[in-house]
Amino acid sequence: GILIVLPAAVLLILALTFTVTYDEALSYSMFISRGPLISIAYYPVPNNHIFFSLLSTLLTSLISLDPILIMRLLSIFSFIMSFFFIYKFLTLIVSKEVSTLISAIYIAMPFSIYYGFLGRGYSLLVLIFFVCTYIIFLQIAENKQTLKIGVFSILSAIGIFTIPTYIYAFLVNIVFILLFSRSSSFQPIAK
């Protein structure tokens, strides 16, 4: 519990006190403040996190708080959930003690902390990647004949929709499927 509560408290303090960054201000002014259609369809700069902008647009229209704080709370939620899925994924391949250690290192790394509260889509991308990876390795560990292809496909599409360079993370997951699967049932999915 302390592995989640302490970092979440630190992230919340940072979210409340840290100066608004250029990327957050640009995301808000160019996309989020202009509505969901602009968030989805307008892509003038390559570093736009589309799905994160869409979620932030919807949340800022529903909740009457500071929009930067809402963006940051979405990142913090994604960060905490990504920690959970990193831990769950690691427990499939190493002991719980090693999983706890690696997860604790991840959650305490300076860049993890910085991107964990920053009102951008980085934590969301990490979350999507590790949920997809967890699904793959869970299926492999249980030696099931079918991958939860629907969930994996939807999350991968959301990852690519969030930022197109997620395609690299998607390809890593496909390599995991090809390398670590014990049955031939994964091959049609990978194709």
Which tens digits make up the pLDDT trace of 75-97? 999 999 999 999 999 998 889 99
> By the 8 A CB rule, do 15 and 117 touch?
yes
Measure the CA–CA gap between 147 and 3, rounded to whole angstroms.
31
pLDDT of residue 148: 73
pTM equals 0.86
Least confident of 86-90, 139-143, 164-168: 139-143
Closest CA to 117 of 12, 5, 4: 12
Around Cβ 63, how many Cβ atoms within 10 Å? 12
> By the 8 A CB rule, do 128 and 166 touch?
yes
- List for the chain the helix, strand, coil content (%; round to 5): 80, 0, 20
pLDDT of residue 72: 96
pLDDT tens, position by position, 9-35: 999 999 999 999 999 999 999 999 999
Mean pLDDT computed over every residue of the chain: 87
Per-range mean pLDDT, top range of 47-51, 127-131, 171-175: 127-131
Question: CA-based angle 128:108:72, to the nearest 5?
Answer: 55
3-state secondary structure of 191: coil
Between 191 and 56, the higher pLDDT residue? 56
